[in-house]
Amino acid sequence: MLVFKFGGASVKDADGIINLANVVKQYDGQQLLIVVSAMGKTTNALEKLTKAYVDQTEDMHGIFDSIKKYHFDILHELFEANDPVFDDVANTFVEIDWAIEDEPHDSYDFIYDQIVSIGELVSTRIVSAYLNKAGIKSQWLDVRGYIHTDNSYREGIVQWDKTRASISKDIPAMLQKGTVVTQGFLGGTSENFTTTLGREGSDYTASIFASCLGAESVTTWKDVPGILNADPKYFDDTVKFDELSYTEAIEMTYYGASVIHPKTIKPLQNAKIPLLVKPFTHPDAPGTVIKEDGFNKFEKPVIILKQNQVLLSISPIDYSFVSEDHLSGIFGLFAQNQVKVNVMQTSALSFTVCFDYYEERFEKLLRNLKQEFKVKYNSGLTLITTRHYDENSLKELTAGKTILLEQISRNTAQIVVR
C-alpha cells in the first residue's frame, strides 16, 4: 500500500491534473491513497479572501469570484458541461458563501480555517472526478472525519489514538475497492469544525495516513528533482541529495526547509517508512529517499532562507536580570499566541528572539509582552540558516547585508540580516 501526496504546483491547471492521472496509471494494481493540496496559489488567494472578510473590504467578493473562475475554467477544460463534478464544486464553494454572508464575530484563526480549507476540498473533488473519467476507480474521502485534532485553529494538534482508530476502521476496506483521494492540510474537531495543520501541512497529512495504515512508502511529488541543498529560486548551482537520513531531514525541516513540512518525518521514522521526494514531471527519476540509514554526503552547505522575520528584544522594566522566572512567563506568552521561535539569545538584561511574522499573532503577543517588559523589534528581516557550513559560504551569504544577530554552533549557523 502506497501513499502519494501531490502539491499545489502539480495540480495548478488541467495539464497538471492529466499528468497526475498518468503518474497514477503507472502504479496500476497497487493500493493507493492520494493526498492532494489546493490548486496552484489557491491557498494564498483564500488567505487574501479571509483577510478581506475580516476587514470587511470592498474587494472581498471580487477575490472570491476570481477563485471560483480559476477552478471552473479548469473544470471546463477537463469535463463536459453536464458532468456532476460542476455541482460538487459549486456546492463546496457555497460553504464560503455561508461563511462570509454575516459580519465576522469569531477569532481570526477560526475564520481562517473555515475559509482556507475549501481549497483542498475543491481540488480533491476535481482530481477524484478526473481519475474516474480516466478509468482509474477513485473514491473521494473527507479527511475531516479521520484526522481528529484539538481546537488549535491554524495549528491543529492531532489526537493520535482517535485518528488511528478512525483510519484503521474504514480505510483498508476502501483501498480494496479503488484509489482513495483525500485532502492534505486539514483536520476536524469533535464539534465538527475544520482545522488546518499548519501552512504546507499536506506532507504531514500523508505521513499520518501512512503511519496509521503501515504503508510501504510515502511519495511526495514536487516541482523540483528532489531535495536540494538550497532553494533554486534564490541560488544557482544547487545539488540534489540522493539519500538523507531521518535525522538530517528533521534538522532541515526544523530550520525551515520548505520542501517538506516539519512534522512530516517523525511519524514515518517511528514506523520506519521511507519518504520519497520525486519530480511530478519526471516520475521515473530517482528523486531523494529519506530513510533510517540514509547516507548523508554534503558537497555543499545546506542553505535555508526564511523571509519576513521579526527580531524582538525583551527587557524587564525594573532592569533586573533575565531570570528563569522571566523566561517561563515569556515562553508562556509565545505559546499562548502560537508564535514559534526560530532563534533566541539571552544576555543579562535582555532576551532576543527571531520568529515568522503573522500580523494578528504578533500584535497580540506585543500587547501581552508590553504589560511587563520593555520591547524593541525590527521587522522585514531574513533568517539565513546553513548546515555543514564553511567560512567562505558564510561570507558569501552575508556580503552586503547588515547582521543583526549571529549564532554559530558546530554544524549550524543562523544569521539574521537586513
Q: Are 59 and 52 in contact (CB under 8 A)?
A: yes
Q: At what angle do helices 85-100 and 42-55 cross, to 10 degrees?
A: 30
Residues 276, 269: Cα–Cα separation, whole Å: 13
Long-range CB pairs of 71-74 (<8 Å, 24+ gap) are 71/39, 71/42, 71/122, 71/126, 74/13, 74/14, 74/17, 74/39, 74/126
Residue whose C-alpha cell is 484563526 = 109
Residue type, 184: G
Q: Which of 246, 279, 277, 278 lies closest to 263 in space, CA to CA?
A: 246
Binding residues: 5-8, 43, 120
Residues 415, 192: Cα–Cα separation, whole Å: 43
CB atoms under 10 Å from CB of 118, counted, come to: 23
CB atoms under 10 Å from CB of 311, counted, come to: 22
Residue 26 backbone zone (phi > 0: left; psi -120 to 50: alpha; other: beta): alpha
Residue 293 phi, psi (nearest 5): -105, 30
Rg (CA), the chain: 22
Q: Are 87 and 14 in contact (CB under 8 A)?
A: no
Pure H helices in 134-159: none
Strand partners, 240: 228
Residue whose C-alpha cell is 491557498 = 43
First to last CA, the chain: 48
Residue 386 backbone zone (phi > 0: left; psi -120 to 50: alpha; other: beta): beta
Binding residues for substrate: 43, 120
Numbers of helices and strands, H then E, in the chain: 13, 16
Binding residues for ATP: 5-8
CB atoms under 10 Å from CB of 15, counted, come to: 12
Run of H or E residues at 215: none
Pure H helices in 182-229: 202-213
